[in-house]
């Protein structure tokens, strides 16, 4: 087949113009000129490298296994993975819009064609009717002269990257909440053990005071006070045990199990695991690179910018290259005859003039969405910095409180030792020694509570720093090239 010269020139011209695209090529800059820096005084461990698997700093094999199981089986993560698969499918659909569209159709009927009617009119004969066999092969290729397809693909790429970042956000939450639930269960177990010790001490004190009252050495008022202390100690135990059980139920669900089906190693922890290294915080740039919510907001902004180009391209005509081959004959064998075959190829132009106002409204809508996306991006950055500041302040206060209570517990243990020495020497009574033990148990209970608070605040700090996701393949993971704005 010889292609006509005018058509060839038209094809070359339109192909050369297909690189043109309308709309902004870059997202607007963030309105934040500079991000506030983290004050090194907020923590004693600024500047250490980031640890993606931050929970491994506790060096607890049970915790490592639980987080790994949660990242594999958590149902929220499965939803996020399905959303990512959907976004990838949309991207493939947008990319395929660059390819020609081919249609094949055939039909068998009874009647006449336009050609039959024209021939009958020219020959002054009757219109020929009868069986009619028809087959049509058509193909069309849309030229992306003004970048509408390219912009839609760019938006789909950004949407997929944003969905990937959203999946990472779920990973951060799942890892943090799994760690928190495990540490809470350990903390409540430690507090329950201290509560049992407290109950044993006040019970022994009540027994001694009861015997002393029976011997006339004290009053019933003193016995009643001791009995009240015993019941108060007894009343504190059920709430602690219930809180520990609830933490275990939550841990089971986070790992994708029914609440009553948690692995045995997770139920035997009786002390809060301690960090084996300082918390790696790093600088602001590293923070903004780690936080998946910031990456998601940036990609949403990029997608909204690309959609402005999609909307603007609707103001311009659509040019396609169309080609078709058709055959129609009264018999199936006749469809192969040269006279039964009709073909054609050439450009097709369409321009929807009546919809220009609607198109301009779509452009205004897309521009407004970009402004909103930029504001959300700024808000996410500010929120991230606020989260870290608050987490650092809370964690620092919890550490100071734990340190003070640890010193108090150490002093109370020394008091118990001295009371034991005095009791052995006959300098003090057993009741005085028990009173020292009771005060020591109270100090130990406060210390156990403080250690649980520190562990919880550690998890909150790790979460605010954006840790806890597994690295996805590099070809699919977006990279933030600026720490404060979206300029590329």
Confidence of residue 11 (pLDDT cuts 50, 70, 90): very low
pLDDT for the residue numbered 141: 80
As a whole number of angstroms, the distance between CA 191 and CA 197 comes to: 10
Contact 420, 433 (CB under 8 A): yes
pLDDT digits (tens, 9 = 90+) for 127-175: 556 677 778 888 888 887 888 888 999 999 999 999 999 999 999 999 9
Band of pLDDT at residue 216, cut at 50, 70 and 90: confident
Q: 116 CB contacts (<8 Å, ≥6 apart)?
A: 127, 128, 129
| Domains within the chain, CATH numbers bracketed | 5-98+144-316+351-476 (1.20.1600.10), 99-143+317-350 (2.20.200.10)
Residue 220 in contact with residue 233, Cβ under 8 Å?
Answer: no
Are the CB atoms for 480 and 291 separated by under 8 Å? no
Nearest to 178 by CA among 243, 253, 240, 242: 253
pLDDT digits (tens, 9 = 90+) for 168-214: 999 999 999 999 999 999 999 999 999 999 999 999 989 888 998 88
For residue 69, what are the contacts with CB-CB under 8 A and spacing of at least 6? 255, 256
Residue 109: helix, strand or coil by DSSP? strand
Question: Average pLDDT over the chain, rounded to whole?
Answer: 80
As to burial, measured by CB atoms within 10 angstroms (0-12 exposed, 13-18 middle, 19+ buried), residue 37 is: exposed
What is the per-residue pLDDT for 129?
A: 65
Q: Annotate 406-468 with DSSP letters as a single string.
A: HHHHHHHHHHHHHHHHHHHTTSS-HHHHHHHHHHHHHHHHHHHHHHHHHHHHHHHHHHHTT--
Average pLDDT over residues 5-23: 50
pTM for this predicted structure:
0.78
Percent of the chain residues past pLDDT 70, beyond the cut: 78
Over residues 442-470, mean pLDDT:
86
Partner residues linked to 134 by β-bridges: 107, 328
């Amino acid at each position: 087949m010889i292609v006509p010269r005018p058509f060839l020139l038209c094809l070359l011209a339109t192909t050369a113009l297909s690189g043109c695209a309308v709309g902004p090529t870059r997202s607007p800059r963030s309105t934040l000129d500079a991000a506030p820096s983290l004050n090194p005084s907020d923590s004693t461990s600024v500047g250490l490298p980031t640890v993606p698997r931050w929970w491994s700093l506790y060096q607890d094999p049970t915790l490592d296994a639980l987080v790994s199981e949660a990242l594999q089986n958590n149902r929220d993560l499965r939803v996020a993975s399905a959303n990512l698969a959907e976004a990838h499918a949309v991207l493939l659909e947008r990319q395929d819009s660059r390819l020609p569209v081919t249609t094949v159709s055939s039909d068998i009927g009874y009647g006449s064609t336009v050609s039959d009617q024209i021939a009958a009119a020219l020959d002054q004969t009757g219109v020929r009717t009868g069986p009619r066999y028809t087959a049509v092969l058509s193909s069309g290729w849309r030229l992306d002269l003004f970048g509408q397809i390219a912009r839609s693909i760019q938006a789909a790429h950004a949407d997929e990257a944003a969905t990937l970042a959203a999946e990472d956000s779920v990973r951060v939450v799942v890892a943090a909440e799994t760690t928190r639930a495990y540490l809470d269960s350990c903390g409540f177990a430690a507090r329950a053990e201290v509560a049992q010790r407290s109950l044993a001490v006040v019970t022994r004190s009540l027994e001694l005071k009861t015997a002393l009252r029976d011997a006339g050495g004290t009053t019933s008022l003193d016995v009643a006070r001791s009995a009240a202390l015993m019941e108060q100690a007894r009343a504190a135990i059920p709430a602690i045990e219930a809180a520990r059980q609830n933490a275990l139920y939550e841990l089971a669900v986070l790992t994708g199990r029914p609440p009553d089906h948690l692995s045995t190693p997770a139920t035997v922890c009786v002390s809060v695991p301690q960090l084996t290294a300082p918390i790696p915080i790093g600088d602001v740039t590293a923070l903004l690179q780690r936080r998946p919510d910031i990456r998601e907001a940036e990609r949403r902004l990029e997608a909204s910018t690309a959609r402005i180009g999609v909307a603007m391209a609707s103001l311009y005509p659509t040019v396609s290259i169309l080609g078709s081959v058709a055959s129609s004959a009264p018999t199936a064998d006749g469809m192969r005859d040269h006279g039964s075959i009709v073909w054609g190829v050439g450009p097709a132009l369409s321009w929807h003039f009546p919809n220009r106002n609607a198109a301009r409204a779509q452009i205004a809508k897309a521009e407004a969405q970009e402004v909103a996306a930029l504001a959300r991006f700024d808000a996410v950055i500010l929120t991230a910095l606020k989260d870290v500041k608050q987490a650092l302040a809370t964690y620092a206060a919890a550490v100071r409180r734990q340190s003070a209570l640890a010193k108090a517990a150490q002093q109370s243990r020394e008091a118990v030792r001295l009371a034991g020495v005095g009791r052995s020497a006959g300098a003090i009574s057993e009741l005085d020694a028990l009173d020292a033990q009771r005060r020591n148990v109270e100090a130990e209970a406060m210390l156990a509570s403080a250690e649980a608070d520190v562990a919880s605040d550690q998890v909150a700090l790790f979460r605010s720093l954006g840790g806890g996701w597994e690295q996805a393949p590099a070809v699919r993971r977006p990279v933030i090239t600026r720490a404060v704005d979206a300029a590329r």
